[in-house]
Structure 1
Amino acid sequence: MRYVQIDTQSDPLSKSFPSTEKQKDLGKLLVQELQEMGIKDAVMDEHGYVFATIPGNTDKSVPVICFCSHMDTSSDCSGTNVKPIIHERYDGGDITLPEEGTVIRAAEHPYLQSKKGDDIITASGSTLLGADDKAGVAEIMDAAHFLLTHPEIKHGDIRILFTPDEEVGRGVEKLDMKRLGAQFGYTMDGGERGSLEEESFSADAARIVIQGVSVHPGTAKDKLVSAIKIASEVIDALPKDGLSPETTEDRQGFIHPVRMQGIVEHAEIDFILRDFITAKLEEHAAFLRNIMNMVMARYPQASATLTITQQYRNMKEVLDLHPQVTANAEEAIRRAGVEPLRLIIRGGTDGSRLSFMGLPCPNIFTGEMALHSKYEYVSIQDMYKAVQTIVHLAQVWEERS
């Protein structure tokens, strides 16, 4: 409730790191609270990463594990002046929020219906809540406090990591892995209770830059070539019945235009390319290039370039080499009284990139649902189970070492 009221929205158009300085406002508070718990090495670096260590209390040689959540919230919906509300003992029906006539309709949120009797946190109707991923932040903080005040629970060294800019795909771009000093990790950034995700999209970004010909419209006949219109034709040439987020599911990939801007002389289109099979990203890029070339063939006076930038890769490629990481998480979820639910992520987390940076890192549930919207909600009881899972996971690693 306290964390979501701090505006930490990241900015996908910013060139700085972190993309917004206000993310550090939460980081400073977390460092203060960690230090008040007794964690002396809690610190935030110049990039906005928060590091802390829960010292081990066992004689065994236990791998250092890390629990990670991101502090920023999505730019898809306002994160300013968030007013969290607790709806105690949810009755299973629609939840009417006090602002903008926003109603979270039970029929449109099947998981919410299964939370009858739980205490549900929402925003007030005009902003997102920020449970993505401040639910994860709160759960890690609560688990840290529990472990520090219950020394009878044996565990190895545990590293805590809070990151900025996950929502803009740059969450671990400046992370010092040596400073982190962990061998295995877990992002707390999943959805429904029991979910455990070890498979994510592989992702590339694509940008088409179009150079048109600008001429005064009064004398433009047979001379002017509008980059804006060419960009529109490229978008219109994309498939209508497939290869898009709105027409795919499960492990199907897509090409998705996310931003277009321009003037007559110059236009740019940004795309995201996604697939669970990394090799298919090249196919998607080739498909997009063919569309661009087909459209540009009609405009010999104009030109266009396509640039592909790698974003992240399917973390399963790494996690398959370290099966104990996921197996230990499944055991911890069971000990929390929940049946593990293996899911795939039609997206990515910091764990996707961390896995390829040397920290195998699946994703564990937090309870956050209806992300990036005014309809976002989280069950307090789901959050309790996530905290229990973290505590049990620390124990499992100690026991199995």
Structure 2
Amino acid sequence: MFSQYHFTAAERFTRYVQIDTQSDPNSTTAPTTEKQKTLGRLLVEELTQMGVADVELDVYGYVYATIPSNTHKQVPVVCFCSHIDTAPDCSGTNVKPILHKQYIGKDIILPDDNSQVISIKDYPYLKEHIGGDIITASGLTLLGADDKSGVAEIMDMANFLSEHPEVKHGEIKIVFTPDEEVGKGTNNIDLNKINADFAYTLDGGEKGTIEDETFSADSARITVNGVIAHPGYAKGKMVNALKIVGEILAALPDNEWSPETTEQRQGFVHPVAIGGAAEQATLDFIVRDFETANLQQHEERLKNIANNIVAKYSRATMQFEVTEQYRNMKEIVSQHPQLITYAEEAIQRAGLQPKKELIRGGTDGSRLSFMGLPCPNLFTGMQAIHSRHEWIGVKDMEKAVMTLVYLVQIWEEKS
């Protein structure tokens, strides 16, 4: 089926990454950066040229589209979703994608900063791409494979289906979201426009991987209220809130319970921001665990640590606030086992070995699942994300496109 097809994913990807779509965690607008719509407009133009229906870029920066069913069967409506923004962690301005043809297994020295070296020692997955083509940035920016690779692969799937009407499938929905990297990817999404039964995000890594489990996540804020006084006459009067939050930080364990000391299914509590002044200061944390019930245990432990510190200062007070962020998608996805079994079969048809993995983080799929749209995550091939070493293998991108095409076929066949 694919022997005569000219894949377009890599070509599209190299165009898309040159458009700066970095989101802004400090912005209060939606989308957080207007420049994300620049890519959105290009995607609308390309989808329209393919003949895809109901193509729209809305005011919030979401792109919606529909590939109509071409079968007489009643097939569940399946949606494919990727995010168009790139992470604030590393510059996404003036990205210069470089195609390294027929990679020979040596270190890749990035030309715009020779200190940036992508090596097999650091990235052993490169071994699987010897002889194939690899795309990197130039050394000064991230590449943007997270998640423009997913965007390009969904677009290539749409292109393939437009050129091969003989491939039977049900109605397919496409949505590209802004602001995923700053935790706002589904804040303004319109599920009525999507109107799908099931969904898959394309926001994963190595070829063949399926991720149906994420962290459950809360944020926690500790606010410490001290007592302010003129520093020249503060003896016996001042209680410095900044010093108290410093003590709270120092009281956290240094050999467990943190991102830098945990792996696999271990949860953690992670301080992410400190602010304020001597009179009042705040500590912000993220709390993560694969078992939702464990979040409360982590939060109680953190609260007790803080209370014990604050209690040493008779006139200091403290508030402890918890905000729900997202929950483990597995709680929803596991109720629909065909989502995973069909994806595994599609990956096998593409000539790969399926690998189920968990995400030590969250995706748009986490929130979509709990909004009523069960949504596991599929591979794209992206590697070393959020860094200047970011890279992707062209063959992995093509395998992702094949997987999507086979996946919509399987949904039709089994309906």
TM-score (norm 1): 0.98
1:170-226 CA-partner distances (Å, limit 9, x unpaired): 211111111110000000000000000111111111111222233332222222222
Q: Is contact 2:53-2:68 (8 Å) kept?
A: no
Equivalence for 1:364: 378
Aligned length: 401
Q: Which amino acid aligns with 1:385?
A: K
Q: Cα gap change, 1:113/1:223 in structure 2, threshold over 3 Å: closer, same or farther?
A: farther
Runs of 5+ consecutive residues of structure 2 not aligned to the other structure: 1-13
1:68-87 CA-partner distances (Å, limit 9, x unpaired): 00111111111111111111
In structure 2, how many angstroms separate the alpha carbons of the residues matched to 1:130 and 1:321? 33
Q: Which amino acid aligns with 2:21?
A: T
How far does residue 16 in structure 1 lie from its aligned partner after superposition? Answer: 2.1
For residue 162 of structure 1, the aligned residue among 176, 180, 184 is 176
Q: Is 2:351 the counterpart of 1:303?
A: no
For residue 248 of structure 2, the aligned residue among 227, 230, 234 is 234
Equivalence for 2:412: 398
Q: Which amino acid aligns with 1:85?
A: I
For residue 84 of structure 1, the aligned residue among 97, 119, 129 is 97
For residue 185 of structure 2, the aligned residue among 158, 163, 171 is 171
Identity %: 60
How far does residue 103 in structure 1 lie from its aligned partner after superposition? Answer: 1.1
How far does residue 333 in structure 1 lie from its aligned partner after superposition? Answer: 0.5
Task: State the Cα RMSD in Å.
Answer: 1.2
SS class of match (2:192): helix
Matches within 5 A, 1:52-91: 52-91=65-104
Equivalence for 2:112: 99
In structure 2, how many angstroms separate the alpha carbons of the residues matched to 1:108 and 1:93? 12
Q: Is contact 2:53-2:67 (8 Å) kept?
A: no
Runs of 5+ consecutive residues of structure 1 not aligned to the other structure: none
How far does residue 112 in structure 1 lie from its aligned partner after superposition? Answer: 2.0
For residue 348 of structure 1, the aligned residue among 362, 373, 387 is 362
Q: Is contact 2:99-2:134 (8 Å) kept?
A: yes
Q: Is contact 1:92-1:114 (8 Å) kept?
A: no
Q: Which amino acid aligns with 2:248?
A: V
In structure 2, how many angstroms separate the alpha carbons of the residues matched to 1:15 and 1:294? 36
How far does residue 33 in structure 1 lie from its aligned partner after superposition? Answer: 1.1
Q: Is 2:260 the counterpart of 1:246?
A: yes
Runs of 4+ in structure 1 off by over 6 angstroms are none
In structure 1, how many angstroms separate the alpha carbons of the residues matched to 2:205 and 2:352? 14
SS class of match (1:107): coil
SS class of match (1:171): coil
How far does residue 266 in structure 1 lie from its aligned partner after superposition? Answer: 2.5
SS class of match (2:369): helix
Matches within 5 A, 1:328-343: 328-343=342-357
Equivalence for 2:11: none
Equivalence for 2:6: none
In structure 2, how many angstroms separate the alpha carbons of the residues matched to 1:216 and 1:95? 58
In structure 2, how many angstroms separate the alpha carbons of the residues matched to 1:107 and 1:298? 50
SS class of match (1:294): helix
Q: Is 2:229 the counterpart of 1:184?
A: no
